Every structure is written in C-alpha cells, then in structure tokens.
Amino acid sequence: MQLLDGKALSKKIEQNVSEGVKKLREKSGIVPGLAVILVGHDEASKAYVGMKKKACDRVGFYSVTHEMPDDISQEAIENTIKMMNNNPNINGILVQLPLPKHIDTTKLLELVDPSKDVDGFHPYNVGRLTTGLDGFVPCTPLGVMELLAEYGIDVKGKNCCVVGASNIVGKPMASLLLNANATVEICHIFTDDLKKHTLNADMIFVGAGVINLIKEDMVKEGAIIIDIGINRAADGRLVGDVDFDNVSSKCSYITPVPGGVGPMTIAMLLSNTLKAAQVAAKESR
C-alpha cells in the first residue's frame, strides 16, 4: 500500500504558481487577484477561507475577503459580485458555500463572470467540462486528477466508482474520469447495494460526507482508493469517508485524511486563479 501524498504535491504546485506569478508580473505588471465572499459565521467555512488567504499570500496573489452577516440580502451579495466582475484587479471570484437558506445559491453562481469562475461552478464551465473543452474545473476533482498523474496512475480503461453525486465533487469527478477514458459508475444516496458496485471497482472515489462509509469488505484486493470526504469524528479527529485502518491493507494506493485530497483543493484554486490572470493578460494586449 502506498499513500498518495497531497500535502507534498500541493507544495510543488504552490512553488510553480509562485514562479508563474513572478513571470506574469514582470511581463505584464499584472498581479493575480482572488476575491472571496464569506456569508455568516460557519466555523468550517471561516477556517477554509483563512487557509485560502494564507495560500494567496504565500504565492504573491492580491486577495480580498468580503465578510457578510447571516441576514445579508440576496441583492447585496449580487451587487458585490457585479462589482467584482467589473474590477480588473480581480481575476477569480469565489462564493464560499454553503450559504444561508434564504439565499438563492444557483443565481449567485450564475452571476459570476465565467472568466473569473475559478471554482468551476458556473453552468458555462460545467458545460465545457462535460464536453471535454478547456475551462475552469472544480478544484477538488481537478486536484484528484493531478494527484493521480503525479503517481503515474492512468485511469484509462479502469472501472471507476464515484460515490457521491454533488455538483461540487461527484459529477465533475465523473466527467473528468470519462474525459480520461475511464469506465465510470456514479453511486449516491439512492443507490441500492453500494457494496455490489464498489467491489467491482478498480478505483473508488468517495465524497459523501459519511464516516467509515467504505469498509474493508466493500473493496477488492489491490484497489485504488481516493477518499475525498472530510468529517469531524466524535473524538475531534479529522477523518474521511473510508475506514482507513482496515481498508488500507487491501489497497495498492490510498489517500490519507487529512493530507490527501484536501491540500490539493487549495492548490488547484491557486492554479485556476493564475490561469484566469494569464488569460486576462493576453486579452488586455
């Protein structure tokens, strides 16, 4: 069994992004800018945004966080997004999810300029991903593909089981795997007999938010396990969706939690924002 070390790879990607920022600044005078909208006081969201801010500082980005109260109006958030769409110093716009229930999340995500949609959630970018065209890809599944590439793992022809069908992880993960010529099954909360599907898989990608969802008897010998889940256990530890202690002995490769997919998500956000700034620099010539 070999661990897929996302922490180490994320540092390499950060270094590459940092070098790209220097080249872009020297060539065009542009410094990549990332703006984040943070609504409410969700502790996990605040911690995640803080990590993003530190990562931006490390690579030399300009970054700004718009913190808003829980009872902020839909109109006020929309006006902030429109302002950022028109701000040439902002190359990436990120709306931190989840949002309060009174906010129409879909409308906000559709309002973000697709050329600044570094989270890859706008229908324009979703469509380009689905059809295999270049665009912005959601950071977590994109990070998974980078991690596989780093370890020389080719998904072509592999039976891949994606557990979880969210717009943020499951669906884009499946699209990336299809684009790379894998055979893909998507399982979700209504799937009958999950074990039947996972046992047939050469590779399992799980992001369902359920502790120990994938157990030892659900995994075939030599399978590759990508644990995208992150949960807080009763004892305070961060754990994934896979029963790591028992499943890892059967795997050829597995991602740890923490230190696997998590660091790759922020690394891909940086990479996407640099890409947006590079495109903007070309278009401004």
Any idea which residues carry the catalytic annotation? 52, 96, 119
Among 96, 21, 28, 27, smallest CA distance to 62 is for 21
Q: How far apart are CA 164 and CA 150, in angstroms?
A: 24
Identify the residue whose tokens are 């998500």: 265
- Contact between 88 and 29 under an 8 Å Cβ cutoff? The reply is no
Amino acid at 190: F
Helices (H), 159-240: 170-179, 194-198
CA 75 to chain centre: 27
Break the chain down into helix, strand, coil percent, rounded to 5. Answer: 45, 15, 40
